[in-house]
Structure 1
Amino acid sequence: MIDQKNSSELMKMKKMINMKQLELIQVSPMNSKSISEISLPLTYFDTPFLLGSPTEMLFFYSLPNIEITHFMNSLLPKLKHSLSLTLQHYYPLAGNLIWCPQLNQPVIRYVHGDSVELVAAESYANFDHLSSKNRTRYANDFQHLLPQLIIPSPNSSNAVPLLALQLTLFQNSGICIGLSQPHATGDGRSIAMFLKSWSLNSKFLGISTSFLLYDHQSLQIIPFFERTVLKNVSTRFQEAYFLHLVKFIRSKYSMSEHDCMNWLLASMEDLKVPPNHIAASFELSGTDIGRLKKWVTSRTNTSPSRFVLVFAYIWVCLAKATNVKTTRDDPKEGLMKASSVLSFADFRTRLDPPLPPTYFGNCVGEIVFSTKKGDLVGEDGLLVAVNLIVKELRGLDDTLVRDVDPGLANLMFPTGDVSEFDVIAGSTQFGFYELDFGLGRPKKVELASIAKTRAIFFADSGNGDGVEISLVRCKDEIDAFGLSFVNGLNDLSVTDLGRKSRL
């Protein structure tokens, strides 16, 4: 399965950036003998992500006194064992994405003996710099911390691993847990579920075995993999989408039908981290979000959710940041240009019948929000954004209640070129900053794959009701977004003071 040449070149690259591999481990699901083989088809929701960048995440944990002996003899065995415990319920993640000739489509296949590759490594980079929330970092500085989904060469077994993990030690500073997963095999909620299960198994290892599969609120997190629950969603659009996708792939990469799996490699190779791009994070505190809500509710009868408020504020900041140059060149034309953002809605509760909340796979659809920049950069821009988002989300529910297929078709085939949109991804419900492997909460969480996709990621910040917003851009774009972000909050303060003075 492993392309030794590619793996060797990868390690040479990592050595150049002061990193050393300590151990390469294959972790199999515990008690897996009862399951000999299982195949899961890709669903209507999985297929659109086949050409997307793998999901890549980094979790930094501050451990000021950690040394290599403790890391290798205590921490690594504990994380390895708890991973094996977790995989006995998430066993498909130890499998591969393969091409099924009978279906003429890729499927997820697990065979007894499959395993997850876990790399233990040591980095000599500056842990505090990489894990900082208050400074910008070059996006390329994170790449050596990410595990590689080893893509096979044309002469190998044509299988793409579903999960790769890396544990990196920073002596006397901390560790970083890195994850890579093909997006076509699971969305953000699925990844959060797996990580929550693994962290609970690690934290309570040796304390209680009956507690391991439940969180402190007694919410079951055993994954649900059954695909037949989607039988009420027609496969017609999935088949049409896939045929269109294959036609595009073969045309772009000049590949024959026998090379169907190799386009995964080709598409991933197209996605590189641009040189000199900067990763930056911004935080809306619980107080900031409260002020946003107060500002909106004082001008309308609605009481928008935290998700809608944060989404709207990001959109307004994007519009103001990108409007600087266009208004300088032609003020009127700049204000008339469209500001469009693409995001994703979770469909688990929107289908009829709904899917279990523990469904593992992709179950999100695309939604496009669009209006003129002039509507967003004005005094009431935030209100405009909130109203548009609420309207689109309400319309989405109405469409699906009336007719599932057309509603999903519109989401999978948004009008226009996706490159025209800014992509906003994430959720405040995943709880990434709550992942405690027995190491305390993460100091910093990074969705490293946004360096390749240019998506803007937001999630809970770990500070009360705060929300962290992350993006990777060139320095000028980061500066412009940061300026609009700070000025927008300052404008709220000025508005509040003005109202108090009039009273």
Structure 2
Amino acid sequence: MEVAESNADISRLAGNKPFPTAELHPLVPELQVTDDSASAVSFQAMLFPNQGFCVGVTAHHGVLDGKTATMFLKLWETHANANTTKRQTLPHHRIYFLFTIVRSLKIPNNIEAKILNEWYSLLKMFSGGKEPDNPKSLKLLPSPEISPDVVRFTLNLTREDIQMLRERLKRESPKELRLSTFVVTYSYALTYLIRARGGDPSRPIGYGFAVDCRSLLDPPVPSSYFGNCVSATFKMELTAETFMGEEGFLAAASDVSDLVEELDGTVALKLPDILASFPILPPGSQVVSVAGSTRFGVYGLDFGWGRPERILVASIEQGEAISMAEGRDGNGGVEIGFSLKKHEMEALIDLLNDGLKK
């Protein structure tokens, strides 16, 4: 683990007001990556003298998904907090590594080749149509430079807020919807992100989210599987106009509910199709995705200094992704992280607050 020091105001980074996204960059450790090798995870402790500290974690998605990264932190926590006289051992019997399960999964033989072919096409697209120098390189794709006017904000929805939104959708929907906490909160964020952008109402809208495949595969993978076991679901059939009207929130909830209801064991086999869709996104498209989950239990982490004041997912600064985590108080709320240009964020915050008053 690296250790660094900062004189920044940690209360601003952990607070409830927008702050420049670039201020998170010093808190994020870099992965050691070359063409031939890559670190699975990197850690950095950033000290804020007389204020507190931050633990930054960067995980390689080729090895760890979000659930596994959080599981690793919880194992670390267990080890750190173990009684010195009766030291606990890490629960190795609950960890399942990739090589112990892949032979039992019913996966078509050609899916790996399809994924690699689509990934090769994406590399060409990022290279401006040129053949990649080393298509097997483990190096990460370059990240675009973030404008200094991009800011971060975290919305705290209480359990009561979510229930109020759920009841509103029940009243307005002519059909029964799957109104889980995820469906309600993602639909709410999606609707107002699109409205905050404004602009051309005919622009194409894409949205989707990562899917934990552990329970969906045949046979199911143990929930404690330690590795990467995610796929994704994605839809791009609507325009911004659908979300800008009075029934925009209902339209979003109806579509997200349908996406969740359709999830089954085939979701892991759709990765080639999802990868193939990115090079053909229409110009001007607005695409919203999700990082994190309300089920990871990140605020339950306690290395002896109490639970974290704030969990921030730095990677949502790219594009229009949002982050999600359970509320810090553990009472059924949800935290939603946003990263937008300052004028869009100001509009978004007003819209989100107004939406809770209806």
The equivalent residue for 1:291 is 164
The equivalent residue for 1:144 is 26
The equivalent residue for 1:42 is none
The equivalent residue for 2:342 is 475
Change (3 A) 1:308 1:250: closer
2:223 pairs with 1:347: no
Change (3 A) 1:207 1:312: farther
Query: Please, what TM-score do these two structures have when normalized by structure 1?
Result: 0.63
The equivalent residue for 2:314 is 448
Structure 2: which 5+ runs fail to align?
A: none
Q: CA deviation at 1:406?
A: 5.7
Q: Which amino acid aligns with 1:129?
A: R
2:50 pairs with 1:172: yes
Q: Distance in 2 between matches of 1:203 and 1:429?
A: 23
Q: Is the 8 A contact 1:224 1:356 kept in 2?
A: no
The equivalent residue for 1:320 is 195
2:198 pairs with 1:360: no
Change (3 A) 1:229 1:358: farther
The equivalent residue for 2:351 is 484
When structure 1 is superposed on structure 2, of 170-179 and 374-383 the one drifting more is: 374-383
Q: Which amino acid aligns with 1:137?
A: F
Q: CA deviation at 1:405?
A: 7.4
2:222 pairs with 1:222: no
Per-residue CA distance 1:211-251 (angstroms, 9 max, x = gap): 7539xxxxx85343335246411241221221342355368
RMSD of aligned residue pairs (Cα, Å): 2.7
The equivalent residue for 1:204 is 82
Change (3 A) 1:352 1:448: same
When structure 1 is superposed on structure 2, of 180-189 and 360-369 the one drifting more is: 360-369
2:12 pairs with 1:129: yes
2:249 pairs with 1:373: no
Percent identity among equivalent residues? 26
- Counterpart of 1:389 (choices 245, 256, 268) is 256
Q: Distance in 2 between matches of 1:205 and 1:177?
A: 23
Q: Which amino acid aligns with 1:147?
A: P
Q: Is the 8 A contact 2:243 2:252 kept in 1?
A: yes
Structure 1: which 5+ runs fail to align?
A: 1-117, 215-219, 327-333, 492-503
Q: CA deviation at 1:436?
A: 0.6
Aligned to 1:242, what secondary structure does the other structure show? helix
- Counterpart of 1:280 (choices 128, 153, 156) is 153
Q: CA deviation at 1:372?
A: 3.5
Aligned to 1:340, what secondary structure does the other structure show? strand
Q: Distance in 2 between matches of 1:437 and 1:124?
A: 23
Query: Please, what TM-score do these two structures have when normalized by structure 2?
Result: 0.87
Q: Distance in 2 between matches of 1:290 and 1:404?
A: 29
Per-residue CA distance 1:122-161 (angstroms, 9 max, x = gap): 22222222222x1111111121122121334x8xxx3221
Q: CA deviation at 1:433?
A: 1.2
Q: Which amino acid aligns with 1:440?
A: G
Q: Distance in 2 between matches of 1:420 and 1:382?
A: 17
Q: Distance in 2 between matches of 1:387 and 1:406?
A: 24
Q: Which amino acid aligns with 1:465?
A: G
The equivalent residue for 1:307 is 182
Aligned length: 347
Aligned to 2:291, what secondary structure does the other structure show? strand
Per-residue CA distance 1:460-489 (angstroms, 9 max, x = gap): 121211111111111012112212211111
Larger radius of gyration between Structure 1 and Structure 2: 1
Change (3 A) 1:363 1:453: farther
Q: CA deviation at 1:196?
A: 1.3
Q: Which amino acid aligns with 1:126?
A: D
Q: Which amino acid aligns with 1:452?
A: Q
Q: Is the 8 A contact 1:274 1:452 kept in 2?
A: no
Aligned to 2:172, what secondary structure does the other structure show? coil
Per-residue CA distance 1:354-391 (angstroms, 9 max, x = gap): 11111222222222234333332333322222221122
1:149-160 aligned within 5 A: 149-152=31-34, 158-160=36-38
